[in-house]
Amino acid sequence: MSEYTLQEMMAIVAAREVQKAGVDVILCGTGISTLAAVAAKKITTPDVVIFFETGAIDVEFNQMPMSLSDPRVMHGAVRLAGLAEAFALIQNQITGKKTLGILGAAQIDIYGNLNSTVIGDYFNPKVRFSGSGGACDIGSVVGQSMAFMELGKRKFVDKLDYLTTPGYLDGPGAREKVGLIGGGPQLVITNKATFRFDDLTKKMYLDSYYPGFTPEAIQEEINFAIDLSRAVEAVPPTGHELEILRTQCDPERMVLK
């Protein structure tokens, strides 16, 4: 078995999920999110279109971007538009349904809602973060989404300090009731385990734990009780997957540690 880092595991898990999702388009952010999209394109789904909310569409990278507006997302793209066109493409359900969004946040709750705005009271915050950017738009309207999170009790919380990006809100039927048109989150990828959402209750459950971790140890790092009964040990990255990830996806090691 090849040696791998947890970060590499996360990118490979995401690449495999893109294939499973059967989407035409991946809408991604920077960092691990871009790395995962490139890994999907190079390893599992070569025809998938990589798309940034800034309006860079069908991007081909030679170097990892430092932001969604990096000139590195522009060169070689099929189209460069703007925000208005980019978000219209996902809000319009003809194309929005074909899109998988990749998100991340400071906090997540049991229904997959995300907070990237504040810790503490919104009107008198202990810590202020960047805010939504396009995350709320993406979580509201795309057909499918996944989130990268770091496992930990301060991240997996009972109640979010601010609900920036909608998951399943407060449970079954809630998205439909408020009028959200997109599909809601499918998968949460962390540094130790992955989580999915129950079809009926919309609650998060443990989907897989990475080799070397146990379901019980994962539960210890989460502030709410989750169903562990369906968890399986995740399949580690293969030598082939790792080689492509390291040599073709991020050879400069801008994201890979």
Q: Which residue has the tokens 């399986």?
A: 232
Residue 252's SS3 state is coil
Q: Which of 5, 22, 78, 122 binds other proteins (CB under 8 A)?
A: 122
CA distances from 216 to 5, 226, 228 (A): 22, 10, 8
Tell me if 175 contacts other proteins by CB under 8 A. yes
Q: Which of 164, 190, 194, 208 binds other proteins (CB under 8 A)?
A: 164
Tell me if 31 contacts other proteins by CB under 8 A. yes
Site residues (CB under 8 A) for other proteins, limited to 177-196: 177-182
Tokens of 148: 């990268």
Nearer to other proteins, 32 or 231 (CB): 32
Nearer to other proteins, 16 or 72 (CB): 72
Tell me if 137 contacts other proteins by CB under 8 A. yes
Tell me if 257 contacts other proteins by CB under 8 A. no
Q: Which residues are catalytic?
A: 53
The closest of 20, 13, 33 to 210, measured between CA atoms, is 13
Tell me if 256 contacts other proteins by CB under 8 A. no
**Which DSSP state fits 156?**
B
Helical H segments across 97-167, by residue range: 135-141
Tell me if 134 contacts other proteins by CB under 8 A. yes
Tell me if 135 contacts other proteins by CB under 8 A. yes
Rg (CA), the chain: 17
Tell me if 67 contacts other proteins by CB under 8 A. yes
Query: Kind and range of the H or E element at 107?
Result: strand 107-108
Tell me if 5 contacts other proteins by CB under 8 A. no
Least separation in angstroms between residue 53's CB and other proteins is 6
- Nearest-angstrom CA–CA distance, 202 and 173: 9
Class of residue 221 by CB neighbours under 10 A (exposed 0-12, middle 13-18, buried 19+): middle
Count the residues of the shown chain that bind other proteins, applying the rule CB under 8 A.
Answer: 63
Binding footprint of other proteins on the chain (CB under 8 A): 30-31, 53-56, 62-63, 65-76, 80-84, 87, 91, 117, 122-137, 140-141, 162-166, 169, 174-182, 252, 254
